Amino acid sequence: MFRAEQSAPGGAPAHAEFYAATVRRAAPADLAALVALERHFPGDRLSRQSFRRLLQSASAEVWVYEEAGQVTGNAVLLCRSNSTQARLYSLVVHPQHHGRGIARALLDAVEHTAAGRGCHRLSLEVRADNAPALRLYQKAGFQLIRQITDYYEDHASALRLEKPVASSK
Ligand SMILES: CC(C)(COP(=O)(O)OP(=O)(O)OC[C@H]1O[C@@H](n2cnc3c(N)ncnc32)[C@H](O)[C@@H]1OP(=O)(O)O)[C@@H](O)C(=O)NCCC(=O)NCCS
């Protein structure tokens, strides 16, 4: 469990006092919030049914960022028990909360989880035209593996990125 005491943007405390933000594993009760956040995902979106399956799957881990009782971001990790390769399947932050380090916090949680499950590498696909996400991943140490043309429903290209994770097994 990752927990951070945060002040409001700009350094001023919210409501005259600090509030807690938590990165935690998603629970079935988060389903509606996960589906609502997915509206802000560019391109192919995960359905309610997909999230329900992911929440029950032994090879998936869904993480959420929660602040003041509100889920403002989520990340989905896929990691099969017999594989050393993990995949970041989805990452989204509510637009009202962009630029506050929420994606970075979720990414850290996902990397720790992948390492804890014995994975050595974390991979992902990102739209080639998604500049904010590319910057995030580049800054987090991901490297370009290859371009995949006609990857998304609208025929846009994807970039496959990867980074090593320090396995703790
Ligand atoms: C991409 C996304 C997840 C980033 O979330 P975020 O919480 O705003 O990102 P963070 O605040 O953690 O930013 C971490 C780093 O990412 C980069 N970054 C994030 N947003 C950026 C932007 N709009 N422009 C340039 N760089 C950006 C920066 O390097 C930033 O570090 P810095 O602030 O120290 O410079 C968010 O924009 C989003 O949800 N987009 C829609 C969904 C999506 O595209 N998901 C990724 C699919 S693979």
pTM over 0.95: no
Helix (H) or strand (E) holding 135: helix 131-139
Query: Residues near 132 by Cβ (< 8 Å), separated by ≥ 6?
Result: 98
CA-closest residue to ligand 1 atom 17? 136
Determine the pLDDT at residue 169.
Answer: 59
Q: Coil, strand or helix: which one is 111?
A: helix
What is the pLDDT, as a whole number, of residue 168? 60
Domain ranges for the chain, please list them: 2-164
How far apart are the C-alpha atoms of 155 and 144, rounded to whole Å?
20
Residue ID of nearest Cα to ligand 1 atom 36: 93
User: Which atom of ligand 1 is closest in space to residue 100's alpha carbon?
Assistant: 11
What pLDDT, on a 0 to 100 scale, did the predictor assign at position 42?
A: 79
**Protein residue whose Cα sits closest to atom 9 of ligand 1:** 103
pLDDT at position 44, please? Answer: 80
Q: Based on C-alpha coordinates, what's the Rg of the chain?
A: 16
- Residue 132 has a CB neighbour count (10 Å cut-off) of 12
CA–centroid distance, 93 to ligand 1, in Å, is 8
Provide the pLDDT for residue 16: 34
Predicted pLDDT of residue 43:
75
Cα of 156 from ligand 1 centre, angstroms = 20
Q: How far apart are CA 112 and CA 134, in angstroms?
A: 21
pLDDT of residue 142: 98
Residue type, 52: R
Cα–Cα dist 76/92, whole Å? 9
pLDDT value for 102: 97
**Averaged in consecutive runs of 10 residues, what is the pLDDT profile of the chain (169 residues)?**
41 47 96 95 88 96 96 96 93 96 97 95 96 98 97 94 83
**DSSP code, position 157:** -
* Measured distance CA(80)–CA(134) in Å, rounded: 25
Report the pLDDT value the prediction gives residue 11, as an integer from 0 to 100.
40
CATH of 2-164, one of 1.10.1040.10, 2.60.40.10, 3.40.50.720, 3.40.630.30: 3.40.630.30
Atom 8 (ligand 1) nearest CA: 98
